[in-house]
Structure 1
Amino acid sequence: MSILTSIKHALVMASQRFTERLKEAVSDVWDKILNHPFVTELFDGSLPMGKFRFYVIQDYNYLITLTRCQAIIASKFEDPAIMRKILELALADVSTELENYNKLLGELGLSLNDVIRVRPSPTNMAYMNFLLSTCTMGSPYEGLVAILPCYWTYLEIARYHAKKLEGNPVRVYRDWALVYLSPEYEKIVGDLRAIIDNAGDYLARDFDRLSGIFRQASVYEYMFWDMAFRQEQWIL
């Protein structure tokens, strides 16, 4: 690489938002997420309802853990403005996603007790433990980077497959997907990215470590979809 090319590359990197750099570093994983059979079948309406029910039960339990992680992250910030923003994001997430799931449960013939009694699958358990350990033992920004793929990939999935919804014959699937195309959800993702990007200059020195966390979380996102598609069970 020539000196001029190196300078141009450095200038491009400097002008990029930190979260965009994280996303570029895991483009291979995100491509697989966008094109996973569970995702494509959900958006075109061909996904068997049993697999969606399995997913909803697992995801509801996951979202409870995600909310706990946000509270842990918020407690680690010294800046009360950032702490408040993260808690607001947690509240918005609970209001947007969990409320949506509360409606879904009834439509799927499930009760909250049915969901809570289910043992999280091996993949779900591993993902939740990864988030809890990262958010508890790591810095607040490590925690934010760990939870970002969950939020952001859902927005990207919904945008990528939005046209499929027009011909989707399953109302429950359409209603579920439209939540992630809403301005409210887009704002949640944008606000979370902004908190990280505002510290981008400070975080740049630790890009390799943070991108490793971001990749691991992204891989778990892929594994979660695959787990739901296979309706993964404990062998004992």
Structure 2
Amino acid sequence: MSDTPSPLSRSFTEELWGGIASIFEAILAHPFIRGLTDGTLPEEAFRFYVIQDALYLRDYARALALAAAKAPQEQAIAMFCHHAAGAIEVERQLHESFFRDFGLTEQQVRATPVAPTNLAYTSYLLRVAYAEPFHELVGAVLPCYWIYQEVGTRLATRGSPNPLYRRWIETYGGEEFGRVVREVLQLTDRIAEALTPAQRAAAARHFVTTSRYEWMFWEMGWRMERWPV
């Protein structure tokens, strides 16, 4: 008898990650990500990315707050409320340190136009947040947590000659952020136990879509994407 586990024995989050294996490999191979560790990423591109990420976080925090409002259990309500605040407070502190390095004011950041990919990603998140049930919203917000943690963990073993990039890597590859992500993964597996196959499939579709948007976000930063007209 084979000791290989049946696919049915995999957790829901393992199934989700298996469904984006090629997307994640494309992310790791992207020149923006490679440039963080070998120091070849132009600082102008990193500056563009950091500003857009700060603008993204405003709407991501709204999506997390709506997840809290839709959550059926108190533990999930408290968790997503805490994470929504963290998206504004903790990560904003990191961005503000970069803003000082780049000589940017908060007013300059807020006056920056939202790039097309950024607007598309956040618009998708907020549509799911307002229109779809809780389990689908969890599927949509999960890649931003999980992919960043996985990228940070992989890059942390390589480091970076650039102190700005090293600070970014250490934030997302650190244990504190890892604990946050594990908390969300555990919740995802718990709620999946009560889902029908159709409901699981719906959550997985959102997970794949926003994972693709994660690749597109780094591509946006690499190209310093502007509106074409």
**Which interval holds the TM-score relative to the shorter structure?**
over 0.9
Indicate the residue corresponding to 1:138 in structure 2.
132
- Residue identity in the other structure for 2:209: Q
Query: 2:145 maps to which residue?
Result: 151
Q: Map 1:41-190; keep pairs closer than 5 Å.
A: 41-165=35-159, 168-190=160-182
CA distance in 1 between counterparts of 2:140 and 2:29 reads 22
1:96–1:179 contact (8 Å) kept in structure 2: no
Aligned partners of 2:58 and 2:214: how far apart in 1? 16
- Structure 1 length as normaliser, TM-score? 0.91
CA change 1:47–1:142 in 2 (3 A) is same
**Cα RMSD after superposing both structures:** 1.8
Distance in 2 between the 1:53 and 1:84 partners? 33
Retained in 2: the 8 A contact 1:38–1:229? yes
Amino acid across the alignment from 1:226:
E
1:204 deviation in Å?
5.1
Give 1:13 deviation, angstroms. Answer: 3.0
Please say if residues 23 and 212 of structure 2, whose CA atoms lie closer than 8 Å, have aligned partners that are also in contact: yes
What CA distance in whole angstroms lies between the structure 1 residues aligned with 2:155 and 2:62?
30
Which stretch shifts more, 97-106 or 85-94?
85-94
Long gaps (5+) in structure 1 = none
Q: Percent identical across equivalent pairs?
A: 31
* C-alpha separation in 2, matches of 1:218 and 1:204: 23
Q: How many pairs does the alignment contain?
A: 228
Residue 24, structure 1, aligned to residue 18, structure 2: yes
1:223 aligned onto 2:199: no
Unaligned runs of 5+ in 2: none
TM (norm. structure 2) is: 0.93
Structure 1 residues 181, 204: CA separation in 2 closer, same or farther (over 3 Å shift)? Answer: farther
Query: Quick one: higher RCO (CA 8 Å, sep 6+), 1 or 2?
Result: 1
Residue identity in the other structure for 1:35: A
